[in-house]
Copies of this chain bind each other. A is one copy, B any other.
Amino acid sequence: MDSDYGVPRELSEVQKKRALYQPELPPCLQGTTVRVEYGGAAIAADPAGAHVISHAFPHTYGQPLAHFLRKTAVVPEAKVISEHSAVRVGIVFCGRQSPGGHNVVWGLYEAIKAHNQNSKLIGFLGGSDGLLAQKTLEITDEVLASYKNQGGYDMLGRTKDQIRTTEQVNGAMASCQALKLDALVIIGGVTSNTDAAQLAETFAEAKCATKVVGVPVTLNGDLKNQFVETTVGFDTICKVNSQLISNVCTDALSAEKYYYFIRLMGRKASHVALECTLQSHPNMVILGEEVAASKLTIFDITKQICDAVQARAEKDKNHGVILIPEGLVESIPELYALLQEIHGLHGKGVSVENISSQLSPWASALFEFLPPFIRKQLLLHPESDDSAQLSQIETEKLLAQLVETEMNRRLKEGTYKGKKFNAICHFFGYQARGALPSKFDCDYAYASCWFQVLGHVCYHIIAAGLNGYMATVTNLKSPVNKWRCGAAPISSMMTVKRWSRGPSATQIGKPAVHMASVDLKGKAYEQLRLNSSSFLLEDIYRNPGPLQFEGPGADSKPISLCVEDQDYMGRIKKLQEYLEQVKTIVKPGCSQDVLKAALCAMSSVTDTLNIMVSSSTGQTPL
């Protein structure tokens, strides 16, 4: 037997109840007729990178945005697709497992079957490896039965996270052609969606008939841009982690003798740490983005934590909870530089045993200063995206140890008069990643629940014949019936890095969907700043409780999503409507005064916008 993928699972009572849940569809996805309205050609947000991107993606850059319309919408230009020939669609899990992945499959299956019973959905077994090896499982009602609304990726499995080398891309194309796929749906995060865009371009170039579609599924929440408000899985991960963080806060407050250092899975960006902080109010969080912006060294951070411990001790508080994103280690300048040197030596084929002796003098000094356990972890091979193995590097233990040493010093010196500092370290990630998806993560699909919306959106994209697009659902903080479903070219989400440190210079100049950092000017971060001193000193811990599927809390959404002023896609549509109105009002034959007023107003608008665009990119206004 090759694997257990797709076998029926025994479900618990809670799982059975969840499996029965049949979510509602947003109006634009109801019925069997697809109505697509195309917007303007989508451009990359950073104009400076646009020409590089358009050069790299000649077939798939500059395609229009697509909006799916509800039955009742009156949009004369909309393309109406009501004939649905049978399609063959392949689907593959590409990134790390994230709650909700199964529902993308389920949603897509329901959608293609609803439109034509002869359509087939083919799952690739074992992720990208299965795609290349053509290991497939046809998705059926029987296969889906015990995976609906369930966590994990165990229905199809996954292996490594990339389809990038020429060999891999050609292998994927060969599979798509051999299986006569009309479309290939790739479920994943930033790297997988970059790969999806590249595949789409290569397929178009090679006149391969398979269209490629990406779906933003990643627990990290770092695939975030003007078109994508959040990713599938982020809400569940934050809720499960927040529950555990809150339990630890309660524990800290009960015993009043421990400092808990909790590292959170979430890759380089600190979205998970920020959201969990807003949900559970721990005493401190050290966001990688803050550290990078202020160029804090490991000693600065240690001192800051020690000062906090001391300030709390002065209020007779000898306990606390401190959150650390797993990506922090790469945000600390000197540790990042050390990692880059190590990775460079890895790249040159230097064996692990010999790396430390070949470091530059300053890197060697830092390396020798660090405790043995972290040295061993820093020496690990980098990941396929050139980042360090963040899940394996125990930054929380390093910080706890440094803080302990410093607090003992202060205690001896008499400057610190609190109790002996005691730390307990945790890493939360694996225990949340396989969780049952939350209602919102569900709501981020199939109307008020489940990931079918994205599945349905994928289907609609395929029906419209689009290639290199990502399924998007926006206006998520509003109720389901106000959600907007559409698609945006993945290439318009790309940016081009103009610099990069260390040996991973391969990324320089190459367009890619890059992970979004926490926006230090954003509203979610503002919430943190406003509250951080009361979080620090007042122990206003908050316990959102275990993930609920019924009753209060079951319908909550990520705080960072709700406070942000999003709905980019909605605004783009609104702008189009204004422009259409101007055209309608100012038709040839209108009065001279109306025309003059229109010219005057539009001239002012375009001037203002030109100035804004140029000031944000440093270019001379047009």
Specify how many copies of this chain sit in the oligomer. 2
| CB-based contact B542/A10 at 8 Å | yes
Q: Does A570 contact B (CB under 8 A)?
A: no
Q: Does A12 contact B (CB under 8 A)?
A: yes
Return A142 CB to nearest CB of chain B, in Å. Answer: 18
Contacts of A4 in B (CB 8 A): 253, 317, 539
Q: Does A151 contact B (CB under 8 A)?
A: yes
| CB-based contact A247/B240 at 8 Å | yes
The contact of A10 among B157, B540, B546, by CB within 8 Å, is B540
Q: Does A373 contact B (CB under 8 A)?
A: yes
Contacts of A240 in B (CB 8 A): 247, 546
| CB-based contact A251/B545 at 8 Å | no
With A244-B431, A250-B151, A433-B247 known as contacts, the answer to whether A545 contacts B316 (CB < 8 A) is no
Cα A601 to Cα B278 in complex, Å, equals 72
Cα A546 to Cα B18 in complex, Å, equals 12
Contacts of A1 in B (CB 8 A): 315-316
Q: Does A434 contact B (CB under 8 A)?
A: yes
| CB-based contact A552/B17 at 8 Å | yes
| CB-based contact B548/A548 at 8 Å | yes
Which partner residue on chain B sits nearest A281 by CB separation? B10
| CB-based contact A251/B430 at 8 Å | yes
Return A162 CB to nearest CB of chain B, in Å. Answer: 15
| CB-based contact B14/A553 at 8 Å | yes
Cα A21 to Cα B14 in complex, Å, equals 21
Cα A373 to Cα B244 in complex, Å, equals 26
Within 8 A of B (CB), among A1-31: 1-4, 9-18
Task: Type the 1/0 row for A365-399, where 1 means its CB is closer than 8 Å to any CB of B.
Answer: 00000001100000000000000000000000000
The contact of A246 among B2, B434, B550, B552, by CB within 8 Å, is B434
Q: Does A424 contact B (CB under 8 A)?
A: yes
The contact of A546 among B2, B150, B547, by CB within 8 Å, is B547
Cα A18 to Cα B159 in complex, Å, equals 42
Task: Type the 1/0 row for A405-449, where 1 means its CB is closer than 8 Å to any CB of B.
Answer: 000000000000000000010101011111110000000000000
Return A417 CB to nearest CB of chain B, in Å. Answer: 15
The contact of A12 among B126, B253, B553, by CB within 8 Å, is B553
Cα A157 to Cα B432 in complex, Å, equals 29
Which partner residue on chain B sits nearest A540 by CB separation? B10
The contact of A255 among B13, B158, B249, B256, by CB within 8 Å, is B158
The contact of A248 among B150, B430, B553, by CB within 8 Å, is B430
Which partner residue on chain B sits nearest A425 by CB separation? B427
Q: Does A551 contact B (CB under 8 A)?
A: yes
Residue count of chain A within 8 Å CB distance of chain B: 72
Q: Does A153 contact B (CB under 8 A)?
A: yes
Cα A66 to Cα B14 in complex, Å, equals 39
| CB-based contact B12/A97 at 8 Å | no
Q: Does A549 contact B (CB under 8 A)?
A: yes
Q: Does A152 contact B (CB under 8 A)?
A: yes
Q: Does A275 contact B (CB under 8 A)?
A: no
Q: Does A354 contact B (CB under 8 A)?
A: no
The contact of A17 among B9, B96, B253, B551, by CB within 8 Å, is B551
| CB-based contact B553/A551 at 8 Å | no
Contacts of A126 in B (CB 8 A): 256
Given contacts A11-B542, A12-B553, A373-B373, 9 further A-B contacts (CB under 8 A): A3-B317, A12-B545, A14-B543, A152-B250, A153-B254, A247-B430, A424-B430, A436-B543, A436-B546
> What would 6 A/B residue contacts be, using CB atoms closer than 8 Å?
A3-B316, A14-B548, A15-B545, A17-B553, A154-B254, A251-B430
Residues of A that sit less than 8 Å from B by CB: 1-4, 9-18, 93, 96-97, 126, 150-154, 157-159, 240, 243-244, 246-251, 253-256, 260, 281, 315-317, 372-373, 424, 426, 428, 430-436, 539-553, 556
- The list of the 10 closest CB pairs from A to B, nearest first, reads A14-B545, A250-B434, A152-B250, A153-B254, A13-B552, A247-B434, A251-B434, A154-B253, A546-B546, A244-B431
